[in-house]
C-alpha cells in the first residue's frame, strides 16, 4: 500500500540535503511526498524583494522536479522560531498533520546547531504523540550539512544513524535539485558544497554497503 510522506524543512534546501534521495525513492515506489517548509523570507525585513522572488521561484522549481504532491509553508520568520510561542508553533504543525495525515515523517535532528531546527524537532515530537496523531507510523531524523555536523558538545549528542537508505539510483537527481539552491552553496572546502554532499553520501554508502546512501535516526516505528 502506498504511504503518505511528509518532510519537515526548517528552510528550503534542508529537505534535499537531508533526505532528497530518499524522497525520490519514495516517489519511485508510488508513495505520496509532501514538503512542509516552516519558515519564509516573505515575512522578514532582512531580505530584498528580489531575494524573496528568487526564493519563491526556486521553491516552485524544486517542487516540480521531485515532484511533490503538495507544498505547505508555515510562514514563520527564518532564524526566529525560538521567539515564536510554543503553542503557536505546535498549532501550526498540528493543523498541517491533520490536513495531510502522513504515515512517515522526516524531520531535522534535535541537536542541530540552528535554533530553527531544534524548535521544530521539539514541537513535532509533541505534535506526533500517538494519541494526537495515531496515523503516524514512523518518525525519522535526517542530517543537515553544516548544522548536524557542527553540533559540538562535551555530551554525547552527535548524530549516530541507525537506519540507512540506498539512494544510488537517485543521487544524480538529488544533486541536480541541489543545483537549484546555488545561493546556499559555495566552493569546496566550504562545509555546504556539492563536494561535501557527495562525500557524505559516499561515507554513508560505505557504512551501508552500497554506492550512495542517506542516513537517519529512527525515533519511532509502529508496525
pLDDT along the chain (223 residues), means of 10: 97 98 99 98 85 95 99 96 97 98 98 96 97 98 94 81 99 98 92 96 99 99 95
Q: Where are the alpha helices (DSSP H) in the chain?
A: 14-28, 49-65, 86-100, 115-127, 171-179, 194-208
**DSSP assignment, residue 41?**
G
Per domain, the residue ranges of the chain are 4-221
Q: How many CB atoms lie within 10 A of CB 218?
A: 12
CA distance 204 to 107: 18
Question: Can you name the residues that pair with 164 across neighbouring β-strands?
Answer: 215
Report yes or no: 108 and 18 within 8 Å, Cβ to Cβ.
yes
Predicted confidence at residue 108, as pLDDT, reads 98
CATH superfamily of 4-221: LmbE-like (3.40.50.10320)
CA distance 89 to 94: 9
Report yes or no: 201 and 167 within 8 Å, Cβ to Cβ.
yes
Predicted confidence at residue 155, as pLDDT, reads 75
Report yes or no: 126 and 94 within 8 Å, Cβ to Cβ.
no
Does residue 6 have a cis peptide bond before it, meaning omega lies within 30 degrees of 0?
no
Predicted confidence at residue 43, as pLDDT, reads 78
Predicted confidence at residue 47, as pLDDT, reads 86
Place of cell 563536494: 195
Amino acid at each position: 500500500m502506498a504511504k503518505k510522506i511528509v518532510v519537515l524543512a526548517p528552510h528550503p534546501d534542508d529537505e534535499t540535503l537531508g533526505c532528497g534521495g530518499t524522497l525520490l525513492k519514495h516517489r519511485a515506489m508510488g508513495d505520496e511526498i509532501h514538503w512542509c517548509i516552516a519558515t519564509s523570507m516573505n515575512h522578514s525585513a532582512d531580505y530584498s524583494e528580489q531575494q524573496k522572488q528568487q526564493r519563491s521561484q526556486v521553491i516552485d522549481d524544486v517542487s516540480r522536479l521531485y515532484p511533490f504532491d503538495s507544498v505547505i509553508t508555515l510562514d514563520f520568520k527564518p532564524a526566529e522560531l525560538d521567539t515564536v510561542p510554543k503553542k503557536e508553533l505546535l498549532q501550526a504543525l498540528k493543523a498541517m498533520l491533520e490536513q495531510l495525515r502522513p504515515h512517515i515523517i522526516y524531520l531535522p535532528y534535535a541537536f542541530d546547531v540552528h535554533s530553527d531546527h531544534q524548535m521544530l524537532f521539539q514541537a513535532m515530537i509533541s505534535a506526533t504523540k500517538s494519541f494526537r496523531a495515531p496515523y503516524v507510523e514512523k518518525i525519522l531524523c535526517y542530517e543537515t550539512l553544516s548544522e548536524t555536523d557542527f553540533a559540538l558538545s562535551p555530551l554525547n549528542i552527535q548524530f549516530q544513524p541507525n537506519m540507512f537508505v540506498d539512494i544510488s539510483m537517485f543521487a544524480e537527481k538529488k544533486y541536480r535539485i541541489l543545483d537549484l539552491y546555488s545561493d546556499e552553496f559555495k566552493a569546496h572546502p566550504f562545509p555546504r558544497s556539492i563536494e561535501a554532499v557527495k562525500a557524505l553520501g559516499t561515507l554513508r554508502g560505505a557504512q551501508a554497503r552500497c554506492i550512495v546512501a542517506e542516513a537517519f535516526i529512527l525515533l519511532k516505528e509502529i508496525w
